[in-house]
Structure 1
Amino acid sequence: MTGRTGVQDAIAKRQIRVGDLAVQGLPPQAIASRLGAPLRIVRSDLEAMGFELPTRHHRQCGSTHGYRQHHKFGEKPCDACRDAKRKARGR
């Protein structure tokens, strides 16, 4: 028998709550705060469900520092920052 464990049930319930709150328009930070879950986990859940995660634009966008800033805030880097990182690597 391949029943689910209590941990798997808790994860599934959290993922459902994350999805419900995202559909209501809450940003990942607000969802994490409301559920008491780490932002990294909420972003992972949203990404797994196919939600487009918001990306802030930083003053440093278009540079390797901007690329690092996106990662620091748990964001997917914007195109300008990805291009700058690619150029810095010599690709």
Structure 2
Amino acid sequence: MSIDETTAARVAKLARIKVEPEQLPGLASEFSTILGFIEQLNEVDVDGVEPMTSVTPQRLKRRADVVTDGSQQDAVLTNAPEAREGFFAVPKVVE
């Protein structure tokens, strides 16, 4: 797939990258090279290959999904500089 200068300019604008007009032919060429590489990757036969997240098989560590001890409001509020009605009290910052 070939990218022209107009498309390269549009992509640069969408990416909010300032590109000088004299640099557009080089950018279009780089985009075309990248898309050519992607087209080569599409030709690879990956039937029967499982997706992987690493080159070595690993299992993610998991923790048990259990409810932990709650009801520690008093213990938590002992660290607060000021507490009111069971909540942290903070100074007013918007007037």
Give TM class, smaller chain.
under 0.3
User: Which has more strand, going by share of residues?
Assistant: 2
Q: TM-score, normalised by structure 1?
A: 0.28
User: Which has more helix, going by share of residues?
Assistant: 1
Q: TM-score, normalised by structure 2?
A: 0.27
**For the pair shown, which has the larger CA radius of gyration, 1 or 2?**
2
